[in-house]
Chain A
Amino acid sequence: MPSNNRTVFSLIIINKAGGLIYQREFQPGLRKLSTNDYLVLAGTFHGVHAITRSITPKLPISQPTPSPATSSPGTTTPAASGYSYPNPGVPVTGLDYLETDKFRLTCFQTLTGTKFLLFTDPMTGNVETIVQKIYELYADYVMKNPFYQLEMPVRRAGSRIQDKQK
């Protein structure tokens, strides 16, 4: 069963170039940052994430493994044969979680390079499920909006309604 504690403080979406495209607070709890600081946070995190991915340990391969029949094309594997990752079946992800006393930051990077950063209470369970669902909603409501320009900030569907009420 999912834990009862489902505090989600806020969500940040970072495009593949490290730009902030979405930021929203769901529950109060975290101190607010200025818009500029959020942009800096996104850019900084992007860089840190890239670094954590590239410091993933590599194990040198002693004997050259004969490539299996379905191996990847030789032309695109320049240096890949010299090492392997400790756990070859699992893709190298870089920073996945960052935890403090008061909050936990979960990072989910899609195969297309977009990053979803979810700030939750450290006790919140099922974060991966929530993130997965957020990705689905993003695929639906952001990517399928024909007027959404890729890599640009996401306008909230609600903002349209709010503007009208003003």
Chain B
Amino acid sequence: MSANKTSRIGEEIWKSVNPQTPIITEKPFSIYSTAFRPRTQANQLFPRRTRVDKVNAELVTLTYGTIVAQLCQDYDSDYQEVNKQLDKMGYNIGMRLIEDFLAKSGVGRCANFRETADMIAKVGFKIFLNVTPTVTNWASDNNQFSLIFEDNPLADFVELPDDGRAQDELWFSNILCGVLRGSLEMVQMQIEAHFVSDVLRGDETTEMRVSLVRYIEDEMPPEEE
């Protein structure tokens, strides 16, 4: 459906910054240094690693698809368990990825959960998956929102198994829920995330529901939540 849109994850950002320029990869640049990294001094001092290596989006799609398929096999199509494992894997990724996000984006602490939501959608997803899900459906207490994915690189080419259960039980992209849970936990937010609909199941949209459980105040109390 949208196979050709991200031939390389991250490229779109570069294009949007400099629409005239064709993609020339020998020129050292990174998506961070053009769009998100204000601290160029650091790059002058240590010029060695300023570019962010890119990877073919289809490699990501196929790798992730293989992981899910293998899990389905290993757990004998116990899709609840597959969802759980994906979430767990994502959690471990998120706890590591957050450092990369903070180090390279240079953003500070968000003042409230609404700001956090925007940061996740517009910066986080943008730099790691090159998509910008829509933040919407806020609960009245500002503690719950939905992310609507118009585009999901993980799910390109995917048809769920036709066994009558996968369509109802498997959340194919469930790893993303774990990533959010892991990364936000590292910045003192306990959240709960789950998918509520997925175009792979024949739904209209792909929607993830994210709810703030609490701010974790142990190690480093946030200033003024």
- Which A residues form the contact surface with B (CB < 8 A)? 2, 16-17, 70-77, 80, 84-85, 88, 91-92, 109-114, 126, 129-130, 132-133, 135-140, 143-144, 150
Interface of A (DSSP majority class)? loop
Which B residues are CB-close (under 8 A) to A92?
223
- Taking a contact as CB atoms closer than 8 A, the residue among A71, A73, A129 that contacts B45 in the complex is A129
Which B residues are CB-close (under 8 A) to A112?
98-99, 102, 186-187
> Taking the nearest CB of chain B, how far is it from the CB of A109, in angstroms?
8
User: A91-B108, A126-B45 known; 13 other A-B pairs, CB under 8 Å?
Assistant: A2-B41, A16-B219, A17-B219, A73-B112, A73-B142, A73-B143, A74-B141, A91-B109, A111-B102, A132-B42, A133-B42, A135-B103, A143-B99
Interface size range of chain B in the complex: 35 or more
Cβ B141 vs Cβ A73 within 8 A: yes
Cβ A139 vs Cβ B219 within 8 A: no
> Taking the nearest CB of chain B, how far is it from the CB of A106, in angstroms?
15
CB-defined interface of B78-118 with A at 8 Å, one 1/0 digit per residue?
00000000000000000111111011101011011111000
Which A residues are CB-close (under 8 A) to B141?
73-75
Cβ B99 vs Cβ A73 within 8 A: no
Cβ A138 vs Cβ B219 within 8 A: no
- Taking a contact as CB atoms closer than 8 A, the residue among B96, B219, B225 that contacts A143 in the complex is B96
In the complex, A166 Cα to B87 Cα: how many Å?
Answer: 42
14 A-B pairs, CB-CB below 8 angstroms? A73-B225, A75-B143, A76-B212, A76-B214, A91-B108, A111-B109, A112-B102, A126-B45, A129-B41, A129-B45, A139-B99, A143-B96, A144-B100, A150-B96
Which A residues are CB-close (under 8 A) to B99?
110, 112, 114, 135, 138-139, 143
Cβ B112 vs Cβ A70 within 8 A: yes
Which B residues are CB-close (under 8 A) to A140?
49, 100
Q: Does B24 contact A (CB under 8 A)?
A: no
Q: Does B204 contact A (CB under 8 A)?
A: no
Cβ B39 vs Cβ A129 within 8 A: yes
